[in-house]
Amino acid sequence: MLSRVADSVYWMGRYIERVENYARFMSVNINLSCDLPEVITDHWQVLLEATQDKFTYDQFYAQITEDQIIDFMTFDARNPNSIYSMLGNARENVRTVKEVVPKEFWESLNKFYLRFKNYTFEAHHDLESMLEFYDGIKQQCHFLTGMLDACLTRNEAYYFWNLGKFIERADKTSRFLDIGYFKNEEKSMNSHDFLIWGAVLKSVSAFNMYRQQYKSLNQTNIIEFLIKDRSFPRAICFSLKKAEYALYKISGSRPQNGYRNSAEKQISELNHKIDFTETSEILEMGLHQFLNDFQIANNKLDAEIYKIYFDVSGGVQY
């Protein structure tokens, strides 16, 4: 596979996953704005900080308001991390490698993008309409990933797509946790905290799965579930293990036989850190610090993958 093709498939996976997660970010904050209108202003700012979009936002807006953040993170073409921009990037990546994905996948993604271009925040100004709008985005992303999972041959393209998808998912789950914890370092939970942490679970569709394992909402248990659970598909641990499996399949090696390159070494080290760091140690360190360190390591992993597989002169195959 050409490095150019591998790069496009990898980022196709990352962008589609990121679109879905940004729709989840917006949904959870809109729901909180209904439940906690007196404190939600802080959480809109925390959302910008957790997604690292505040610097870009401050370039275009003088103050933080709910309407402006919704528009900025959803429709603003000036924001490279808006849903509109990311969906366009996913479409462009797929357009250049249409021969390696199912025809129906390209047609569905193209229609999704073209329909999205006709939407504006002004046309869906009430929050109930926006919630339905974001639900539609999540459903469309599920449809696209389901189509690839059902119809894409298990070859290098499949594993590069999975690699990008699960690296992105691990990163965004860490940021959902940051939103819940950013302004709340105390161990006890008040009524506001229950709503916030419940919203964090619902934002990653984890509420019912969490309650199957734990009887009540507990800050420590929620942190453990979303970071260390090996069975829940949006937990950081689960996502990293899937990404590690995909990365080793690309090189034809196995983790138990040792790493072959710096990317495999980085992902295995990161996987072991998540696996062997106890929840009590995470809390002692500070959850925000732990998540920040994880995000830095995850970004380093992305850089190593680029160096090994994508940073090659045109036309060269690996």
Q: How far apart are CA 195 and CA 291, in angstroms?
A: 21
Half-sphere exposure of 301 (CA within 13 A, CB side): 25
For range 52-59, the mean pLDDT: 92
pLDDT in tens, 104-147: 999 999 999 999 988 765 555 677 788 899 999 999 999 999 99
pLDDT in tens, 179-209: 766 555 555 666 677 788 888 898 899 999 9
Asked whether the predicted pLDDT for residue 279 surpasses 60, the reply is yes
pLDDT at 298: 97
Residue with tokens 């990311």, as numbered in its chain: 86
Lowest average pLDDT, out of 35-44, 87-96, 239-248, goes to: 35-44
pLDDT at 257: 83
pLDDT at 318: 42
For range 60-84, the mean pLDDT: 91
* pTM for this prediction: 0.92
pLDDT over 90, % of the chain: 67
pLDDT at 316: 39
Q: Is 79 exposed, middle or buried (0-12, 13-18, 19+ CB in 10 A)?
A: buried
- Alpha carbon separation from 189 to 4, 63, 140, 218, 296 (Å, rounded): 49, 30, 36, 8, 29
For range 285-294, the mean pLDDT: 94
Q: At residue 185, what are phi and psi to the nearest 5 degrees?
A: -95, -10
Asked whether the predicted pLDDT for residue 17 surpasses 80, the reply is yes
pLDDT at 75: 92
For range 169-178, the mean pLDDT: 93
pLDDT at 317: 42
